[in-house]
């Protein structure tokens, strides 16, 4: 599944945490505790990705960052699946029609897989996609 790096900053004067996603301009949230901030970060990331998808804006690939204040956040499962699929298909230069054909579904049915609001693949379709892209979608 897809995850984006988030920078967590503790506000030592007023308390709480701010969470910012460097790859996603304007995607920012905060929480009173670390757990709350991370939960809100998942919500903010999910809403941000769903919003840029619905407005047909380019979806940035997550960058690789490391450091003490970096946490990788996954969006909600349906949104993460749809975004992961769209980015991987584009990265491999495959058309929706070609992937649909390899899955044995119509192009219209496949388009739903890349739509965060409508995606609902079966387990066998997920396995076929994992084989096609050579990558695990569902990790334990």
Q: Which CATH architecture has domain 4-73?
A: 2-Layer Sandwich (3.30)
Q: Which CATH architecture has domain 77-133?
A: Orthogonal Bundle (1.10)
pLDDT in tens, 98-115: 999 999 999 999 999 999
Mode of pairing for the β-strands spanning 70-73 and 17-20:
unpaired
How far is residue 65 from each of residues 13, 21, 87, 132, measured CA to CA in Å? Answer: 27, 11, 19, 27
Provide the 8-state DSSP code for 119: -
Residue ranges of the domains in the chain? 4-73, 77-133
When pLDDT is cut at 50, 70 and 90, the band that residue 1 belongs to is confident
Neighbours of 76 (CB within 10 A): 15
């Amino acid at each position: 599944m897809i995850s984006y790096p988030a920078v967590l900053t503790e506000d030592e004067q007023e308390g709480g945490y701010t969470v910012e996603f460097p790859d996603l301009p304007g995607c920012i949230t905060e929480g009173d505790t670390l757990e709350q901030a991370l939960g809100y970060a998942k919500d903010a990331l999910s809403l941000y990705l769903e919003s840029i998808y619905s407005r047909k804006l380019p979806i940035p690939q997550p960058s690789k960052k490391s450091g003490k204040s970096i946490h990788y956040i996954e969006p909600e499962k349906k949104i993460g699946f749809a975004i992961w699929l769209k980015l991987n298909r584009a990265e491999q230069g495959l058309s929706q029609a070609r992937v649909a054909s390899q899955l044995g579904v119509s192009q219209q049915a496949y388009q739903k897989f890349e739509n965060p609001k409508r995606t609902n693949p079966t387990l066998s379709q997920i396995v076929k996609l994992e084989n096609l892209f050579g990558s695990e979608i569902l990790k334990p």
